[in-house]
Every structure is written in C-alpha cells, then in structure tokens.
A = this chain, B = another copy of it.
Amino acid sequence: MSRSACKDGLMTTAIQDTYPEDFSHCFGCGRNNEHGHQIKTFAAGEHAITEYEPAPYYLGGGQVAYGGVIASIIDCHCAGTAAIAWMRANDMAVGEEESPRFVTARLEVDYLQPTPIGPWRITGVAEEIGARKVIVAAELSADGRVTVRGRAVMVKITAP
C-alpha cells in the first residue's frame, strides 16, 4: 500500500489505496483505473479531505466546471469518507488494514454558485454510522469559497 502525504500535514495512506483489489477499478477513485480520476481521500481528525484539480476540458454550461464531474468527485469522496468513518467506529486501523468498500444508494448535490476549474478541496464528515449504512455530508471549496454541498447515503458491499 502506497504512503502519501496528507495536505493537512498528517502522514497517512489514502483510503482508496486500502480498498480491496477487486473493488479498485472505479472510474472516480480506483487506483487500478488508468482512465479515471484516481482521487485520494485522507483522514483528518473527524473529517476526510480530498484535493483534486479537474482537467481543463471539464467545462459545464458556461466557462465554469461541469456539474457532472463535481457530482462524480463528491460521490467518490463520500464513499471514501464512509469507509474511514466506519473503520474508526469499528476500531479498525485506517490506512493499515484493508478497507471495506462502500457504494452509493443516494446522492444529493446542491450547486450553490459556479465552481471554477480547480484546484478543489472537498471535505466530508459522517452524519450517521450504521452496521452497513453511512450517511456523509460533503462540501467542495474552490478559491477559498464553498461552491457546492453534497450528501450521500453509502452502503457497505464488502467484508468486514
């Protein structure tokens, strides 16, 4: 498992680098998808953080970022945040043990204002942690402003 530096100064492993091998092909966050975004999400206190800069062709309705790729990054960030939160709640060592894999049951995205083409900082926190279900709230910031809020209901599909 590769070691990476969290931008908050906490040395840790991205949660995606501990996903089970057979569940690491996701276009948004799979380390084994050469075409994809390969986002990396790090535990940081009670939160999880993803930093990402979209390619310049990810334009939306005008000369701003595409809402679809924003939804995509928030989706995978929430999956990572859910895995981190669930592991902590179950006394597992985040970054050291293989992580369970969560997928999305419901995604909500509120586009508060236009988002410039990156860099973006996405933060997330678990609102509810159940046996198999975790609800995550997320925010995307660009140029120091929160431009998008998201919320996702994530469901665990792998052991433990």
Contacts and interface: CB of A to CB of B under 8 A. Distances in A.
A137 B110 CA distance: 16
Given A60-B26, A60-B27, A107 B106 contact: no
A133 to B, nearest CB: 13
A71 interface: yes
Contact of A110 (B27, B76, B106, B157): B106
A61 B105 contact: no
Interface stretch (A2-10, A29-37, A85-93, A139-147): A29-37
Contacts of A25: 59, 63
A107 B104 CA distance: 14
The 9 closest A-B pairs by CB, nearest first: A68-B72, A61-B103, A71-B71, A35-B57, A27-B66, A107-B109, A25-B59, A67-B104, A28-B68
A107 B105 contact: no
Interface residues of A, number: 41
A67 B75 CA distance: 8
Contacts of A58: 27
Nearest to A108: B108
A28 B141 CA distance: 22
Contact of A61 (B26, B57, B69, B72): B26
Interface in A85-121: 101-111
A59 B71 contact: no
